[in-house]
A and B are shown apart, each in its own frame.
Chain A
Amino acid sequence: MTVAGSAPRAPRRTSAQRVLVRTMSNRLGDAAMALSSGFAALVVLAILLLILFDVVRNGVSHLSITFLTEAPKEGMTAGGIFPAIVGMVEMVLLMTVAGVPVGVATAVYLHEYAPAEARLTRLIRIAVANLAGVPSIVFGLFGLGFFVQFVGAGIDKVFFHGDKVYGQPALIWAALTMAVLTLPVVIVATEEALRAVPRELREASLALGATKFQTVMHVVVPQASAGILTGMILAVSRGAGEVAPILFTGAAYFLPHLPKGLSSQFMTPSYHVYVLATQSPDVDATKPILYSTVLVLLALTFILNIAAIVVRARVRRQSGLQH
């Protein structure tokens, strides 16, 4: 500040001042960052609350036990959504049974067996990442082309003399399409869970003369099971809400009865919402039903997500107990 070089103390003072100035600008930066990021978080929260408020306000009036246990009536302007709930549960169960074992096995291969630097390993990882980024309507078209028109039609030709049984949109094809869609969720969650298994536990098992397979089966996967479960729940909650993949592969516009088997079509809340919103003959009559359906769908997804969070928290606590 004063004339430089006039006294030996002068440079020291300026450097001290510079430090002071820097901390002040740091503090200003911190404050600005805290303010702007806090505001952003507030906006997100506000949007979420707004949606929730809107759905609950419009949907809660029509919600009742009969709404959950009755089929739609009078051109979907009355009645409930029971077949849709059943259809969703069946579809999601089938999807889980079909998809989770494949996803878990893939993750186990990638993390435990595949050489990390090998080209094939990297290729699989890229494929998984890309699979996660594919728009869901593309999965729908894939399901139609591959499962319905190729696999289904093939089964009909071989086992049913060309009669249309499996060669049309059906519960099984929708579930398989959804299983493919949710594969990346399961794979990523499982790999993360496997990565969290302490090296010490693997070594303990191997040092006792366990083979790698025994170690994976008896130590690694059980230790990762809660993480795998989290991935599964997230996959289910994703599958419950998606419409596009099942649009051409099995979802029904309206069914007066529950799905009879793997080859029948089914209703789901998500597609039902779309139908009510766009195809209704009487908009005013269907509006409360529409909102109630959304409310049920939201509640189901929230419950599943909360379950995933609870499971994850329990895992953290358990692994925290270890050391």
Chain B
Amino acid sequence: MTAAATNTTPTTKLTVRDLCVYYGEKKGVGPVTMDIAERHVTAFIGPSGCGKSTFLRSLNRMNELIPGCRIQGEVELDGDAIYGPGVDPVTVRRRIGMVFQRSNPFPKSIAENVAYGLRIGGLKDEREIAMRVERALQHAALWDEVKDRLNDNALGLSGGQQQRLCIARALAVEPEVLLMDEPASALDPIATAHIEELINEISSDYTVVIVTHNMQQAARVADYTAFFYMGELVEFDRTDVLFTKPSNQRTEDYITGRFG
């Protein structure tokens, strides 16, 4: 919140220009043009099916796993076109990590879940791996709860712990951007508060983009908020501005609870 509140213009991390996502012939979302600020939290809000998740997934090329999905327009990460010719989606996803709506730990031990990204990235030094696993778990505020059972199966953790484990797993590979697709929608209020606190904390090191259907959540965690409706980006502004003085009627209707 700090930088947005003090009104300094932050650096742009992700530049999106005229991005459209199609499923077959049907347009899912777009055209979207926006700049996402470095080391800030940007939230996407909007009613179900408004295209916010689809848009989020096109920021690290996860959409192309869906057959028939086609993308137009440009996304640049620090000036590198992620949809440029010859760009490997694998390298894009190493720099832009993702946390999903439903926690999806691997059926492996807690430590191995976090180590997974490091191992497939070619890291072999076990001491280095153990160190980075610990750091990621601390970063995700999970270390104290699991440090005595790192070799237990991750599926034995509670829902909120599993989701924080997924965040730790994503942070372990040290991405520059972390995309979060409704990370707290399946969690109880206490676990949700944990996650929100965590988002606030990691935003000093990471660029965070979060999709949420919970407007209060967006207001609490995000520096910037984008409102999507029917596949269109309706309004994008600083969170305090969007929630207090929306310039678009549909935004106002949505945040005042008239629909959605």
A interface residues, Cβ below 8 angstroms from B: 116, 198, 200-211, 214, 218-219, 223, 318, 321-323
Picked from B65, B90, B106, B169, the residue with its CB within 8 Å of the CB of A201 is: B106
Q: Which of chain B's residues have a CB closer than 8 A to the CB of A223?
A: 107
User: Is B170 on the interface with A (CB-CB < 8 A)?
Assistant: yes
Among B67, B93, B120: residue with most chain A CB under 10 A: B120
Cross-chain contact of B65 among A203, A204, A219, A322 (Cβ < 8 A): A203
How many Å lie between the Cα of A276 and that of B102 in the bound state?
61
In the bound assembly, the distance between CA atoms of A321 and B67 in angstroms comes to 29
A318's partner among B100, B107, B121 (CB-CB below 8 A) is: B107
Report B-chain residues with C-beta under 8 Å of the C-beta of A204. Answer: 100, 104-106, 166, 169
Supposing A208-B120, A322-B155 touch, asked if A203 and B62 sit within 8 A by C-beta, the answer is: yes
> Is chain A's binding surface mostly helix, strand, loop or mixed?
helix
Whether A208 lies near B91 (C-beta < 8 A) is: no
The 29 sampled A-B contact pairs (Cβ below 8 Å) are A116-B67, A200-B100, A200-B102, A200-B104, A203-B65, A203-B100, A203-B104, A204-B100, A204-B166, A205-B116, A205-B120, A206-B65, A206-B93, A208-B93, A208-B97, A208-B120, A208-B170, A208-B173, A209-B90, A209-B91, A209-B173, A210-B90, A210-B116, A210-B117, A210-B120, A211-B90, A211-B120, A223-B107, A318-B107
Determine the chain B residues whose CB is within 8 A of the CB of A219 once the complex forms. 106
Q: What number of residue pairs across chains A and B have CB atoms under 8 A from each other?
A: 66
Bound-complex Cα distance A206 to B104 (A): 12
List, in ascending order, chain B residues with CB within 8 A of A211's CB: 90, 120
Measured CA separation A219–B112 after assembly (Å): 12
Q: Please, how many angstroms separate the alpha-carbon atoms of A318 and B106 in the complex?
A: 12
Chain B CB within 10 A, most for which of A200, A209, A218:
A209
| Interface size band for B | 20 to 34
* B188 nearest CB across to chain A (Å): 16
Nearest CB on B from A224, distance (A): 11
Distance in Å: Cβ of A319 to nearest Cβ of chain B:
8
A218: chain B residues within 8 A (beta carbon) = 116, 120
CA distance A200 to B170 in the complex (A): 14
Nearest CB on B from A323, distance (A): 7
Q: Which of B60, B91, B102, B155 contacts A207 (CB under 8 A)? A: B60
State how many angstroms separate the Cβ of B106 from the closest Cβ of chain A.
6
Binary CB contact string for chain B from 129 to 157 against chain A (1 if under 8 A, 0 otherwise): 00000000000000000000000000100
Which chain A positions have C-beta within 8 A of B173?
Answer: 208-209
B24 CB, nearest partner CB in chain A, Å: 13
Task: Kindly report which residue of chain A lies nearest to residue B88, judged by CB atoms.
Answer: A211
B105 to chain A: closest residue by CB = A204
Does chain A have a CB within 8 A of B94? Answer: yes
> How far is B107's CA from A218's CA once the two chains are assembled, in angstroms?
11
Q: Does B82 make an interface contact (CB < 8 A)?
A: no
Q: Which 10 A-B pairs have the closest CB atoms?
A: A209-B94, A200-B104, A208-B117, A207-B98, A204-B104, A210-B120, A209-B93, A214-B120, A321-B155, A211-B90
| CA A218 to CA B102, docked complex, whole Å | 21
Whether A207 pairs with B120 at a CB distance below 8 angstroms is no
For the complex with contacts A204-B100, A204-B106, 7 further pairs of A-B residues with Cβ separation under 8 Å are A201-B104, A206-B93, A207-B62, A208-B97, A214-B120, A218-B120, A322-B155
- How far does the alpha carbon of A204 sit from the alpha carbon of B60 in the complex, in Å? 13
Contacts of B169 in A (CB 8 A): 204, 208
Q: How far is the CA of A218 from the CA of B112 in the complex (A)?
A: 12
> 1/0 contact trace for B168-204 toward A, CB 8 Å?
0110010000000000000000000000000000000
Nearest residue (CB) in A for B119 is A218
Chain A residues within an 8 Å CB radius of B91: 209
Minimum CB distance partner of A209 in chain B:
B94
State the CA gap A89–B20 with chains docked (Å). Answer: 60
Q: With A and B bound together, what is the CA distance between A321 and B105 in angstroms?
A: 12
Do the beta carbons of B106 and A206 come within 8 Å of each other? no
| A319 to B, closest residue via Cβ | B107
Residues of A within 8 A of B155 (CB): 321-322
A266 to B91, CA, bound (A): 55
Expressed in whole angstroms, the Cα–Cα distance for A206 and B98 within the complex equals: 9
Encoded as 1 (CB less than 8 Å from any A CB) or 0, chain B from 65 to 106 comes to: 101000000000000000000000011011001101010111
Question: Which residue of B has the minimal Cβ distance to A204?
Answer: B104
Choose from B98, B102, B116 the contact partner of A323 (Cβ within 8 Å): B102
Instruction: Give CA–CA (A203, B89) in the complex, Å.
Output: 13
Whole-angstrom CA separation of A37 from B120 in the bound complex? 53
Q: Which residue of A lies closest to B97 (CB)?
A: A207
Cα separation A205 to B98 with both chains bound (whole Å):
10
Residues of chain A contacted by B117 (CB below 8 angstroms): 208-210
Note all chain A residues with C-beta closer than 8 A to B120. Answer: 205, 208-211, 214, 218
Q: How far is the CA of A203 from the CA of B60 in the complex (A)?
A: 12
B53 to chain A, nearest CB (A): 12
Nearest chain B residue, comparing its CB with the CB of A321: B155
Q: Is the CB of A207 within 8 A of B93?
A: yes
Q: Residue of B at shortest CB range from A207? A: B98
Distance, CA A321 to CA B117, complexed state (A): 23
Q: With a CB–CB cut-off of 8 A, which chain B residues contact A205?
A: 106, 116, 120
Q: Specify the chain A residue showing the minimal Cβ separation from B61.
A: A206
Which residues of chain A are near B166, meaning CB under 8 Å? 204
Complex Cα distance, B104 from A261, in Å, reads: 49
